[in-house]
Amino acid sequence: MKDPRRILDGVWPRFSGLNATELSKEFQYEDEVSFVTDVSCRVLDKARTSTLTWHGHVADFLLVAFVILMFAIFVFVSRQSFPHGKSQQVVAVVAGGIPRFHVITLSDISVQAVPTVDGSLGHIEEVLGHYPVENIPVGTVVRSNQLSSGMMPPGALSNRVALLLPLKSTGLVSKSLPVRMALYIPQRPAKDPLVFNDVYLLYVSATQDGATVAVTQADARLITNSLGTMDTYMAEPIR
């Protein structure tokens, strides 16, 4: 039986130096993840075999413990090294980047082999039809926490205006956005509120005190005229 202490001979020193990419190519693995997974499984199998064969021997038990410890360190280092490797991820490719609240189409993105980023997405289908809640610069990996939870048809928000409005209560706000809704704007002095039925709720701020809605350009003019100095708001066109 091969001594478990020699399982990682020649491999561990280079891997601990964050050379997972070099090693995966040398041993003809598809990528770093496949390399680390296979080696980890081999170490565990060797530890299990050693336990069954040398049961009852203190020295051998310590030897197995050493192998398991090396496995734990191996896993830790592998997790640290993955961000330095590459994987297939969705990247913004449209000139100027993807503006927030733009419903993403095929012309906006592509899948490329780039350095791994936490929260990245590896399939076009995971991004199409969603809109970003922040601007995504060209050449940047698209992350899941930048996207709406729900989807919309391409162009559904075109020629609309995004309004940032104060939010008094979030009790009825859906967890999946966007949501089509009616918007009531109170009038001063006491009058019937203005009602706008063609409105999409796009985003609720992290502090839940403001909401971004998408309205038609005609409704945007009526809303901003009625607000005046009553509330603070911001408007921007959706591209």
If one looks up domain 86-146 in CATH, what number appears?
A: 3.90.1210.10
pLDDT (0 to 100) of residue 111: 96
Q: Residues spanned by CATH 3.90.1210.10 within the chain?
A: 86-146
The pLDDT-based confidence of 238 (bands split at 50, 70, 90) is: confident
**Cα-based distances in Å from 185 to 149, 222, 230:** 27, 10, 11
pLDDT (0 to 100) of residue 2: 41
By the 10 Å C-beta count (0-12 exposed, 13-18 middle, 19+ buried), 162 is classed as buried
3 HSE (CA, 13 A, CB side): 6
Phi, psi angles (nearest 5°) of residue 37: -60, -45
pLDDT (0 to 100) of residue 192: 86
The residue-averaged pLDDT of 128-145 equals 96
Choice between 153 and 35, residue whose per-residue pLDDT is larger: 153
